Amino acid sequence: MELAEKLEILADSAKYDVACTSSGVERAGRHGSLGSCSAAGICHSFTPDGRCVSLLKVLYSNACCYDCSYCVNRRTNDIPRATFTPRELAELTIGFYRRNYIEGLFLSSAVLGTPDRTMEAMISALRILREEYHFRGYIHAKAIPGADPLLVHQLGLLADRLSVNIELPSADSLHRLAPDKKRAAVLAPMRQIASETAQNRCELQRYHAAPQFAPAGQSTQMIIGASPESDRQILHLTESLYQKYSLKRVFFSAYLPVVQDSRLPALTTRPPLLREHRLYQADWLLRFYHFSAGELLNEDNPIFDPYLDPKCNWALLHPEYFPVEVNRASREELLRVPGIGPKSALRILRARKHQHRGLPELKRIGVVLKRAQYFITCDGYLGARGTRAEIAGALVDPKAFGVGVQQLSLDSFLPKALPDAAPALHQLTDQGMDPQKAAAELRQEAITCITRRM
């Protein structure tokens, strides 16, 4: 098989991994212009110092010996198969790098025979890059669950970031949909990476020349919508992973039906993109806003509100916390206010050392007053008064009204959590209604639902 054909197959197979972001656009080069876009193959990620880098996103092999029902590369799926050699992959990466197409490599793989054999091949490719070509670009590598700990250690010495995909939110779902994988085998390398990263940090403080082990830390990925776990279960697992394994990021991937299987949603099921979006918002609250999973969801409300982002929903459910006096509140109290983020909270704390802040000053600082004004006071004066419908209209999330973002009719999917939920937008558009008119109608229904719950 030609190298270009291998690249096409293995780059396309890698697009379902969301631990870094694909460009999502296919655009050919044009005479007289510079640059082009490829939907798969070139992706973007962020380094620990905040730089956005272009990566070659590819699998070492898609010839998998496992039969995970949700995976397009599973053993029983009839698709073209390809496998690089270590030198082919290394030379391909260097060729793209010299042409300034990429700044690094994102390398994952299906399980080629055994986890150890797969990891040995990946390590060989990275060793050629690092030691023979002296490549110093960013490398993100996926550790294969079940591989020998020594191989995980060697991979961590060659890569900037490691990740181990936890795949599904519960052991039961993993056993049912991926019988070849064991939860313990997934968690073992995560525990090892966390331990070795902490140990390496101490070594570097003593000896600056010590070899670095995965200096950019580790991440993981969960598939959302392929199994029946609630948002509450997923969020509690996410919080636990951050606390136990010091993860840098937990990535969520809305399940895209690619194979027919009775254990999975039908092929006609829409990917739960809005649910994925809500989980990312909640993940942000866990990492930067000092929220806990138990504050955002509980047994009575196990699913995120589709019309409100998690922070606005929390604010409406806790009126006793508001209004917050912006000129005396702590940073933690300011971060609970809808419309105030970490940067604007820090600016408020710095600015009020010199003088008290009013609404015009807050707006210049970067506070989103459209939402924040109903939850704050400035020297005892309310930011704004509004009816319940006005407050609901200010807080409702416009991203909830995009065609195809909801997986099911919320009336049938969430009868306990959202008794007044309006139908999903795609239901109205499927009936022939104009998308803009449907979005406006659904928005009004959403405001009515939120008002009833306030």
CA 281 – CA 310 distance, rounded (Å): 7
The DSSP 8-state label assigned to residue 212 in this structure reads P
Domain residue extents for the chain: 3-269, 324-382, 393-453
Q: pLDDT for 109-157, tens place per residue?
A: 999 999 999 999 999 999 999 999 999 888 999 999 999 999 999 999 9
Contact 450, 395 (CB under 8 A): yes
CA 21 – CA 13 distance, rounded (Å): 14
CA 144 – CA 147 distance, rounded (Å): 6
Q: Which pLDDT score is estimated for 440?
A: 80
Q: Which pLDDT score is estimated for 425?
A: 62
Work out whether strand 52-59 and strand 104-108 pair parallel, antiparallel, or are unpaired.
parallel
C-alpha closest to that of 71 among 241, 263, 249:
263
Q: Which pLDDT score is estimated for 46?
A: 65
CA 179 – CA 189 distance, rounded (Å): 19
Phi and psi angles of residue 218, each rounded to the nearest 5 degrees, phi first? -135, 160
pLDDT tens-place values along the chain, 454 residues long:
789 899 889 988 888 777 654 433 444 555 654 344 444 456 666 665 666 778 889 999 999 999 999 999 999 999 999 999 999 999 999 999 998 888 889 999 999 999 999 999 999 999 999 999 999 888 999 999 999 999 999 999 999 999 999 999 999 999 999 999 999 999 999 999 999 999 999 999 898 888 999 998 999 999 999 999 999 999 999 999 999 999 999 999 999 888 888 899 988 888 888 899 999 999 999 999 999 999 999 998 899 988 899 999 999 999 999 999 999 999 999 999 999 999 999 999 999 888 888 899 999 999 999 999 999 999 889 888 888 899 999 999 887 776 444 433 333 333 333 333 444 666 666 677 777 777 787 788 888 888 887 7
Contact 449, 420 (CB under 8 A): yes
Phi and psi angles of residue 427, each rounded to the nearest 5 degrees, phi first? -65, -40
CA 421 – CA 81 distance, rounded (Å): 45
Q: Which pLDDT score is estimated for 173?
A: 94
CATH superfamily of 3-269: Aldolase class I (3.20.20.70)
- Reduced to 3 states, what is the DSSP secondary structure of residue 184? helix
Q: pLDDT for 210-225, tens place per residue?
A: 899 999 899 999 999 9
Q: Which pLDDT score is estimated for 27?
A: 44
Q: Which pLDDT score is estimated for 178?
A: 93
**204: Cβ–Cβ under 8 A, 6 or more apart, which residues?**
210, 212
Positions of E strands within 146-285 = 161-163, 218-224, 249-254
Q: pLDDT for 55-77, tens place per residue?
A: 889 999 999 999 999 999 999 99
- Reduced to 3 states, what is the DSSP secondary structure of residue 414? coil
Q: Which pLDDT score is estimated for 419?
A: 34
First to last CA, the chain: 62
